[in-house]
Chains A and B, each alone.
Chain A
Amino acid sequence: MEFGYMNKWLKVNLTLKEFKDFSISEDILRKYVGGKGIAVHLLWKYVSKLEEKGINVKDFDALSSENMLIFATGPVTGTRSPNSGRHHVMALKSPLTGSIGSGNSGGRWGAKLKFAGYDGIVVIGKTEKPVYISIIDGSVEIHDATELWGKNSIETSNHLRNKHDKKRAGVSCIGPAGENLVPMAVIINEEHRAVGRTGLGAVMASKNLKAIIVEGNSKPNIAKPDEFNLKVKEHVEKLKENGVTGEGLPTYGTAVLVNIINQNGMFPTKNWQTGVNPDAEKISGETLTEEYLIDKHPCWGCVVACGRKTKVDKGNYKITYTEGPEYESIWALGGTTTINNMAAVIKANHYCDIFGMDPISVGSSIAAAMELNEKGMIPEEDLQGIDLRFGNADAVIELTWMTAFRQGLGFWIGEGSRKMCQHYGSPDLSMSVKGLEMPAYDPRGAKGIGLNYATGNRGGCHVTGYTIAAEILGDVDRFTTEGKAELTKIFQDFTSLVNSSVNCLFLTFALGLDEYAEMIGPITGWDVNSDELLTIGERITNLERMIINKFGITGKDDTLPKRLLEEKMPEGPSKGQTVDLDTMKEEYYELRGWVDGIPSEEKIIELGLK
């Protein structure tokens, strides 16, 4: 494939300390585009291979050396098309959920991987001692990383950039939480950008792979440069003119959502006991901007810059420089725990970044522990003197680092709220789907996002299909269940395509499928239209579903915590609401051509997945 791609993938077998290049044929690229799509395709092939070997993928341990870890870019990554510095990472299995592992990250690592000469990396096996991989101008080396083990994400990145004398290199690494195999560990790149969800940092750590540094001067060729440049210009103009991407996100970051979600009475508070937080203003985007913001901070090639450079000048949580927090981290660490203290959130988020953990799962699991404690379910000796009340900021900070180092109650928090709540005898208090902690929108206030959480392949996740854009930020009736099946399906399939392109999902506030055709077409030279792209998205969503079906995950797992199905929202603008999931789910399966959460034979054939 001449255009858009580097035409080279790297396969690393860490057990054998061997690596080799391989390529992906054009017909496969046309079917899956890149990024997540290609990763899902490779994982599906790997499942067949394991099955041939007689390995039962259902019982397969996510931290075993056989787990496959894939770093992937797409045709748009690293081009002049806006916000294209991102990359997607997947693992066959997540140590947190037991479902598929999947995450997407900003930063510049994705673009730099292509400049180094590769579209993606597949890692299997495990070394005896810690190693890191360098890919610099097409040259691959595996190095000893003993001296890096124990270092946090900032130290690791700085060390490697200095050692290789590449000041602008991309570094993806794990922190101490990953090394300690915390199931909610992340892979960090550029110190503060994370492949955030499903514990991929623990998978990387289980291979004894500390980091991958990438740098180079190659560039993907563009099939139709004139047309491409024209479209880039048009897309940038659209992004500048759009209220969300041109003003809201650059000025306030994603935290601009705190107030609007709370005003709708769906800002999950006290482990989702209510959707109203009277003090949300204290942790809002407006407060962050006024009191803590140093500057905005874009990823590579980004014209939006939702990232934040922040500091806390005084008090117990003083910090001279960090990045973030974004909306989800603020909510998880500061909202559902009800600490409502921005300085403490910034500190806890900084710990998550440097130790390498997912702030959504950390904060949400701490909030679940707070409710367990409120209900008297945690024995005194397990609390070790921590005052685990909702609203206690010091407890959140303390438990965040205890989670990274697997200390005391931090061990259970790190296992995730599902296992922790089971352990303490109240499984219903885990606000998770398929073992993944849900993010910051209570679906009792917007029904479509509930269907999306329930049906997401990787679990309770908003960026699988962000229906909030229509239900809260757009004009779609948020309480009705009508039409939500179709809305969810379209959002999910479009997102699969975005994550395969690979660029930033926030573009979709201003750019639709037609604009994606205007990027992918001129870059690759393919004659693509929006219908074909949406079908590609659908194909990827379905193939990912076929993989999780192999793990025994089916319709019974496409559900929501009992609280959302049965407990009426107690107060505020969403008062009295529950989620009528069954009605939406039935319609959704019908639209998807799924039977009990499993793609039908006809659907598999229709999408060319046979």
Chain B
Amino acid sequence: MKIFVKVFASLRKKYPNITDLNPLEMEIDKGTTLAQLIARLNFNQEEVKIILVNGLRASVEDIINEEGSIISFFPAVGGG
């Protein structure tokens, strides 16, 4: 199943070329959880603070169900 991964802010230290305009296309197995995807990307779970699947909040145990899903990973961010 094909998905698109976007990483932001300090998570780009590992993947400087993955941006909103240039997401990473990945093949994953059906039933893959976000935790597994995080591990596959060589992140540890503590550094990923916010996960959005197609713009909606998700947690590490969630399974990626939909073909073509956009998964966005953020570290702790804030401002105002």
Closest beta carbon of chain A to B78's beta carbon, Å? 4
- For B54-80 the 0/1 string (1 means CB < 8 A from A) is 111100000000000000101111111
Residues of B contacting A243 in the complex (Cβ-Cβ under 8 angstroms) = 49, 75-77
| A256: contacting residue among B20, B54, B57, B77, CB under 8 A | B77
A248 lies within 8 A of B8 (CB): no
Residues of B contacting A286 in the complex (Cβ-Cβ under 8 angstroms) = 8-9, 12, 19
Closest beta carbon of chain B to A65's beta carbon, Å? 34
Quick check: which of A202-210, A260-268, A422-430 contacts chain B, the rest being far away? Answer: A260-268
Residues of A contacting B75 in the complex (Cβ-Cβ under 8 angstroms) = 243, 247-248
The listed residue with most A CB atoms (<10 A of its CB), out of B19, B52, B76, B80, is: B80
Interface residues of B in 36-56 (CB under 8 A from A): 49-50, 52, 54-56
B55 lies within 8 A of A574 (CB): yes
Residues of B contacting A509 in the complex (Cβ-Cβ under 8 angstroms) = 78
B77 lies within 8 A of A281 (CB): no
Interface size, chain B (Cβ < 8 Å): 23
Q: How far is the CA of A203 from the CA of B12 in the complex (A)?
A: 45
Q: How far is the CA of A295 from the CA of B72 in the complex (A)?
A: 28
Residues of A contacting B79 in the complex (Cβ-Cβ under 8 angstroms) = 248-249, 253-257, 306, 326-327, 506
- For A496-521 the 0/1 string (1 means CB < 8 A from B) is 00000000011001000000000000
Asked if A478 CB lies within 8 Å of chain B CBs, one says yes
B52 lies within 8 A of A573 (CB): yes
A506 lies within 8 A of B78 (CB): yes
| B77: contacting residue among A244, A328, A463, A572, CB under 8 A | A244
A244-B76, A248-B78 given; A256·B52 CB < 8 A? no
A473 lies within 8 A of B77 (CB): yes
A260-B50, A286-B8 given; A572·B55 CB < 8 A? yes
Q: How far is the CA of A285 from the CA of B9 in the complex (A)?
A: 8
Closest beta carbon of chain B to A239's beta carbon, Å? 12
Asked if B32 CB lies within 8 Å of chain A CBs, one says no
- Looking across the interface, which residue of chain A has its beta carbon closest to that of B79? A254
A251 lies within 8 A of B54 (CB): no
Closest beta carbon of chain B to A470's beta carbon, Å? 11
| A242: contacting residue among B57, B72, B76, CB under 8 A | B76
Tally A-B pairs: CB < 8 A: 97
- For B17-41 the 0/1 string (1 means CB < 8 A from A) is 0011100000000000000000000
Closest beta carbon of chain A to B17's beta carbon, Å? 12
Residues of A contacting B54 in the complex (Cβ-Cβ under 8 angstroms) = 573
B80 lies within 8 A of A506 (CB): yes
- Chain A binding surface SS class: helix
- Chain B binding surface SS class: loop
A573 lies within 8 A of B56 (CB): yes
A469 lies within 8 A of B78 (CB): yes
B80 lies within 8 A of A462 (CB): yes
Q: How far is the CA of A232 from the CA of B7 in the complex (A)?
A: 35
Q: How far is the CA of A45 from the CA of B28 in the complex (A)?
A: 67
B9 lies within 8 A of A256 (CB): yes
Residues of B contacting A244 in the complex (Cβ-Cβ under 8 angstroms) = 76-78
Residues of B contacting A284 in the complex (Cβ-Cβ under 8 angstroms) = 20
A249-B79, A254-B80 given; A260·B19 CB < 8 A? no
Closest beta carbon of chain A to B22's beta carbon, Å? 9
Interface residues of A in 209-252 (CB under 8 A from B): 242-245, 247-249, 251-252
A248 lies within 8 A of B55 (CB): no
Q: How far is the CA of A213 from the CA of B20 in the complex (A)?
A: 45
Q: How far is the CA of A264 from the CA of B50 in the complex (A)?
A: 11
Residues of B contacting A505 in the complex (Cβ-Cβ under 8 angstroms) = 80
Residues of B contacting A475 in the complex (Cβ-Cβ under 8 angstroms) = 57
Q: How far is the CA of A255 from the CA of B80 in the complex (A)?
A: 9
A281-B20, A286-B8, A286-B12 given; A260·B55 CB < 8 A? no
Closest beta carbon of chain A to B13's beta carbon, Å? 10
| A281: contacting residue among B19, B49, B50, B57, CB under 8 A | B19
Q: How far is the CA of A265 from the CA of B72 in the complex (A)?
A: 12
The listed residue with most A CB atoms (<10 A of its CB), out of B8, B12, B56, is: B8
Asked if A69 CB lies within 8 Å of chain B CBs, one says no
Q: How far is the CA of A284 from the CA of B20 in the complex (A)?
A: 10
Extra pairs beyond A259-B20, A573-B52 (13, CB < 8 Å): A243-B49, A243-B75, A243-B77, A263-B20, A263-B55, A285-B9, A286-B8, A286-B12, A286-B19, A473-B76, A478-B57, A572-B55, A573-B55
Sample 17 A-B pairs with CB under 8 A, ordered by A number. Answer: A244-B77, A248-B9, A248-B10, A248-B79, A252-B77, A254-B79, A256-B9, A260-B8, A263-B8, A264-B52, A279-B21, A286-B8, A463-B80, A469-B78, A473-B77, A473-B78, A573-B54
